[in-house]
Chain A
Amino acid sequence: MTRTDSQNSRIDIMLITIVLIPVLLGALSIVLPYKKIRRGILVAGSISHLTLTVILGFMRNNAYDTGDWIGLDNQGLLFLAITSILFLMVSIYTAGYLWRESDRNVEDSVEGFYFRNEPERMFIACLLFFLATMSMVCISRHMGLLWVAIEATTLVSAPLISFHKHHRSLEATWKYLLICSVGIAVALLGNYFMAFAAHQEVSLNLDKLIGNAGFLDQKWLKASFLMLLVGYGTKAGIAPMHTWLPDAHSEAPSMVSALLSGALLNCAFLGIMRSHSILFASGLGDFSGGLMVFFGMLSIVFAAAFMIRQTDYKRMLAYSSIEHIGILTLGAGIGGIAGTGAMLHAVNHSLTKGMLFIISGQILYLYGSKKTSDVHNIAKTTPFTGIFWMVGFLAITGTPPFGTFISEITILYGIIGAGRWGIAAGYLLGLGVIFIAMARIMINMSFGGNLNSRIIEKLKELKGVPLWYTAPVIIMAFIILSLGIYVPDALFRFLANAAGLTGGL
């Protein structure tokens, strides 16, 4: 494929625009004094981001200038698209949420004290900056730039977690900030080691590194990958570096949890994939893949262990994220068809988890408790929420006919195809345990127990289910369902190509 220079520069400009638009809108939302406009800006920003992403997807082709700092390959486009769609869904929900929550003293759901939220302008600005930094991660073609972008995602998302200003959210923010910053610092060390591996002659440009892969020093490269895996793995929530994740997800407002799980973890995972692709190109794919399989398996086991006796449904969802990142890492580590499955799984998981977190936000609002023992009979109180909570349950545990089933089966097929029977058994066992654990919690929440009089009072105030909540949920559920029924050939080829850099099919 060839392309002209003008086409090339046009894509570059668009890539810069896709980062700049949220940044500018974010700055605007800090300056503007009007609440409604600010919320409008949020939605407008996400719509324009998605539009640009779609246009880029069609304009782009696979050839690169090897000196480019930024560019969009299939992997990048995939994760950019996921981020963009999820962010649109979340921004719609957020606009409504802020309208409901604005300017009131909020009662804490756990301890009953009152607190105030963070100023809305900072919150919206940080959301938009968050989008910008995540887009930056997806379009980086330089390991150094990638690092800068991933670290930036931590910093702009920290204020999001402490949106509700109280002691638990501050504790979660602190853990998130410190653990992730230290992790990312380790990844920086990995980047420097990568440069040593290149004998300080090849720059950290991804394409140049892959192009000169045979020339890289293997000892340094191995050390580098280990650092990068641990570093970005901390951010991605891979066990045993996951400790910040349940705290942050349970204390952050639900839409932030949705973004953290659905978009941020993916971005960090993209960092791991990029590193893996370099090692793969230099013939060390077995080493890096092996490590990824190990950590992926470990994450599934950890998640299963902590989900069995979980009493907090937001924490349960957080551990489920650890599990699914584990599955992604495992699939990508195995490579081949499992790599393609992992890419598909990234789409499915992000949308499913986004949906579940948004629903969990609504449940928290209705029931005023994060304890599973306090939430009963959702299906009867609010049928919409109850039904989609169950849909989410079926989807997240990989039950047909949802997309996660297809992707998990694809990964299993890949594992068996690679002859890793032990891994396959462990994978199935882990998924089984998690299915049972989640079923016990979520089915009980949907159908078990009696109606609570307080809830009925609250329902009367509510006057129906708002559209800003139902629309994103229905759209996301629709996408996962359709991906479960039919994966278009073109999409599959695209995913396979995205996984191709790291030995996918």
Chain B
Amino acid sequence: MTTWIDIFLLALVLTDFRLLASSRLGAIIQTTVFQAVSLSACMLLMAVRPISIYIIALSIVTFTVKGIILPWLLRRAMREADVQREVRPIIGYSASVLIGVVLLGLSFIIFMPMKETVSGSAFLMPGALFTTLTGLMMIISRKNALTQVAGYLVMENGIYAFGVILAVEEPLLIEMGVLLDVFVAVFVMGITVYQISREFDHIDTDRLSELKD
């Protein structure tokens, strides 16, 4: 069982590398779908047997929100803003991947001593942290507003992976609330991106630089 959880987490880590390496928005959005699959699968696998109906419901909702609705929203925003790819990232793709390798190592070093405190897999916390950092990297090192939204989504995925450990004990309500908030956040961001693209004819956030001291 642990091995299967680990395999899904390994997939999560690999998707992170794909996110760091790809410039095409379509590919990035597609990768977040894989992450959603991996997250909801982990949730099911980690649950105490027999699996309660709540966990199944939560896992289905997780997949629906993160794997279907949010990618759909992003794709729509992508069409409306008429952008396909990140043109000139602040940190190049090769450099991003290299930094990613370093971050992955760091995530492991940080959580190595805490192996025993967490039930289930030793891969979970490092993988979750690495995903969070990947999202943060995407937000910091990319200029395209939609890539940044996707980065926010990835970061949320990483943090949510930490929550997967707790999904068993914590009330359903909070996880649902978290999902709802993320959904609305991406929704509002999508609308804002659309308005920005209409007003500016581009969605490069580094050119949004009029307001400063």
Contact = CB atoms under 8 A, between A and B. Distances in A.
Given A158-B192, A182-B152, A189-B159, A174 B208 contact: yes
B169 A188 contact: no
Interface stretch (B80-88, B95-103, B194-202): B194-202
A178 interface: yes
B210 A204 contact: no
Contacts of B165: 192, 196, 200
Interface stretch (A98-106, A159-167, A340-348, A481-489): A159-167
Given A151-B181, A155-B188, A203-B170, A178 B118 contact: no
A335 B2 CA distance: 46
A250 interface: yes
B50 interface: no
B152 A178 contact: yes
B106 interface: no
B189 interface: yes
B20 to A, nearest CB: 17
A159 B188 contact: yes
A145 B177 contact: yes
A332 B98 CA distance: 42
A171 B210 contact: yes
Interface string B170-192: 11011001101100110011001
Contacts of B178: 144, 147-148, 188
B213 A306 contact: yes
A217 B116 CA distance: 14
Interface string A153-196: 01100110010011110111111011001100100110011011
Contacts of B173: 144-145
B136 interface: yes
Contacts of A144: 170-171, 173-174, 177-178
Contacts of B200: 167, 170
B9 interface: no
B188 A167 contact: no
Contacts of A181: 152, 185, 189
B16 interface: no
Interface residues of B, number: 42
Contacts of B31: none
B117 interface: yes
Contacts of B210: 167-168, 171
B162 A192 contact: yes
Interface in B116-130: 117-119
A246 interface: yes
Interface in A1-56: none
A461 interface: no
A315 B210 CA distance: 14
B199 A167 contact: yes
Interface string A186-221: 001100110110001101100000000000010000
Nearest to A171: B208
A189 B132 contact: yes
Contact of A204 (B170, B181, B188): B170
Contacts of B213: 246, 306, 310, 315
Interface string B75-114: 0000000000000000000000000000000000000000
B188 A177 contact: yes
A28 to B, nearest CB: 20
A387 interface: no
B196 A174 contact: yes
A27 to B, nearest CB: 15
A195 B117 contact: no
B52 to A, nearest CB: 16
A408 interface: no
B166 interface: yes
Given A167-B210, A177-B189, A185 B169 contact: no
Contacts of A310: 213
Q: Which of the four size classes fits the interface of chain A?
A: 35 or more
B118 A148 contact: no
A323 interface: no
B145 interface: yes
B192 A182 contact: no
A73 interface: no
A203 B166 CA distance: 10
A185 B152 CA distance: 9
A247 B199 contact: no
A168 B163 CA distance: 37
A57 to B, nearest CB: 27
B160 to A, nearest CB: 8
B166 A155 contact: no
A165 B170 contact: no
Contacts of B1: none
Nearest to A205: B171
B37 interface: no
Contact of B199 (A145, A166, A188, A315): A166
Nearest to B195: A170
A181 B132 CA distance: 13
Contacts of B163: 188, 192
A147 B139 CA distance: 22
Nearest to B186: A181
A291 interface: no
A168 B148 CA distance: 19
B139 A178 contact: yes
Contacts of B170: 144, 195, 203-204
Nearest to A195: B166
Contact of B159 (A155, A185, A203): A185
Given A151-B185, A192-B162, A196-B117, 5 more contacts: A167-B199, A170-B195, A181-B152, A182-B139, A203-B169
8 contacts: A167-B200, A174-B193, A181-B152, A181-B185, A189-B132, A204-B170, A251-B211, A315-B213
Q: Sorted from nearest, which 3 A-B pairs have the closest CB atoms?
A: A144-B174, A148-B177, A247-B211
Interface of A: 142, 144-145, 147-148, 151-152, 154-155, 158-159, 162, 165-168, 170-175, 177-178, 181-182, 185, 188-189, 192-193, 195-196, 200-201, 203-204, 217, 246-247, 250-251, 306, 310, 315
Interface of B: 117-119, 132, 136, 139, 145, 148, 152, 155-156, 159, 162-163, 165-166, 168-171, 173-174, 177-178, 180-181, 184-185, 188-189, 192-193, 195-196, 199-200, 205, 208-211, 213
